[in-house]
Structure 1
């Protein structure tokens, strides 16, 4: 199974080498989380940029600074290894106070192992269509390789994200990002940690770190009653125009 998935990733990256932008409606490192079997789950992704560069990335692009993004993510586990997900809808409240619905995305996640202790690994595939204000290319794909380890006190995870456009006027080589997380468990309900999202170039210019977006976050994961919360404050650097980013992932109890 893993060899087939690996071969498919290489083939897609080579055949569809086109640019995509980081899915900044979702600032999250995938770990060993998996929805309850045959139950609908909901995470709400929220992020806000209080300071940064006001220059748009391209003509007609939405400016990131002072923009609030709120994206519900629904999930449904088909079995113990496959999970369907939908980011629906992608919404923004821009610096002028204008509210917009700007797209939707679907995903399919496969987890080979996702126990609460020990090694875990998996793969996530995402396809979405977004408004021109978010991306010059309306249809985009992402392949995410997931891996990590969880112990009694520490959890470590890494994602390799390969982003490429399906259609649009600004196609180019697929972007590659390495997202990592290290967390320390203060209690059974609360973990503090560090997340880093580092562009490492494209499939044709691998290792071009200085020409890519970078961001690092101090984060806390906790549980408040039946609600789960990931909260973080981050700093953008490299080519990232967002100086300070505040982000939340809110796990909404559905039927619990």
Structure 2
């Protein structure tokens, strides 16, 4: 009886938790696109210190798993770039695998427009295996607005996501906002907070515990124009969010 109850509870939680966590590229985007003719190669490394320990539907547990994502971005014009992602997972019990790939074109408002804010929009589309995300085919639309005030910086990504295959296929657009604020304590080091959320379909939001809310304490190092470095540790506030994750991004422009 107790076992049947636990199975039923797990099934209910899976139904409520329609959006799988995408802890492969944990980053709040800035509005600037890659310069024309330049290419950046990035490695996104994330480790879930405390996450889900159960198989939920088709999805394997996230606890104590490493995610390694290779991102390659090329600038075609001063305002248009394309990014390519290769998602990988490393873990025991069948969790070491190539997960999937996405393509991400992005356009930005040119500097010649002299807008008071940096503005761009990214669209990301691709496939991922059902063992790592029940929604195997998805589209992300990410508007990006940012601003630098002296040593202060802020960026807001009011992202929406749409599934084309999987449990969210009839859910409409899922709202997944990201927000970053940082302060440059020196010419090299900036310290800040990054927020990542997923609240459910517009105007039909999930109950709070079925939403995802994560807050990261993060640092950016600006020691070279050709390099990018970001690292942080995050905490999840709801039962649908992995509780503790550490992340690191290293990028090199060519």
Question: RMSD across aligned C-alpha pairs, in angstroms?
Answer: 2.3
Alignment of 1:160-175 (within 5 A): 160-168=158-166, 170-173=168-171, 174-175=173-174
Question: Which residue matches 2:83?
Answer: 85
Q: Structure 1 residue 81: deviation in Å?
A: 1.1
Structure with higher Rg: it is 2
- 2:133 corresponds to which of 132, 135, 147: 135
Q: Provide TM-score, normalisation by structure 1.
A: 0.83
Q: Which segments of 5 or more consecutive residues in structure 2 lack a partner in the other structure?
A: 1-17
Question: Which residue matches 2:63?
Answer: 65
Q: Does 1:111 align with 2:108?
A: yes
Equivalent residues of 1:191, 1:222 under 8 A apart: yes
Alignment of 1:1-256 (within 5 A): 20-58=19-57, 60-87=58-85, 89-96=86-93, 98-113=95-110, 119-168=117-166, 170-173=168-171, 174-206=173-205, 208-224=207-223, 226-254=226-254
**How big is each residue's C-alpha offset from its partner over 1:89-138, in whole Å with a ceiling of 9 and x where there is no partner?**
211002447521111000011111569x9521111000010111122232
CA distance in 2, matches of 1:92, 1:114: 38
More displaced 10-residue stretch of structure 1: 40-49 or 164-173: 164-173
Equivalent residues of 1:142, 1:162 under 8 A apart: yes
Q: Which segments of 5 or more consecutive residues in structure 1 lack a partner in the other structure?
A: 1-18
Equivalent residues of 2:32, 2:120 under 8 A apart: no
Q: Provide TM-score, normalisation by structure 2.
A: 0.84
Equivalent residues of 1:114, 1:121 under 8 A apart: no
Judged with a 3 Å threshold, the aligned counterparts in structure 2 of structure 1 residues 109 and 148 are, in CA distance, closer, same or farther, namely same
Q: Structure 1 residue 32: deviation in Å?
A: 3.0
Judged with a 3 Å threshold, the aligned counterparts in structure 2 of structure 1 residues 142 and 20 are, in CA distance, closer, same or farther, namely farther
CA distance in 2, matches of 1:139, 1:179: 21
**How big is each residue's C-alpha offset from its partner over 1:217-245, in whole Å with a ceiling of 9 and x where there is no partner?**
00000035553210000001223341100
CA distance in 2, matches of 1:185, 1:207: 36
The number of aligned residues is: 234
Q: Structure 1 residue 170: deviation in Å?
A: 4.7
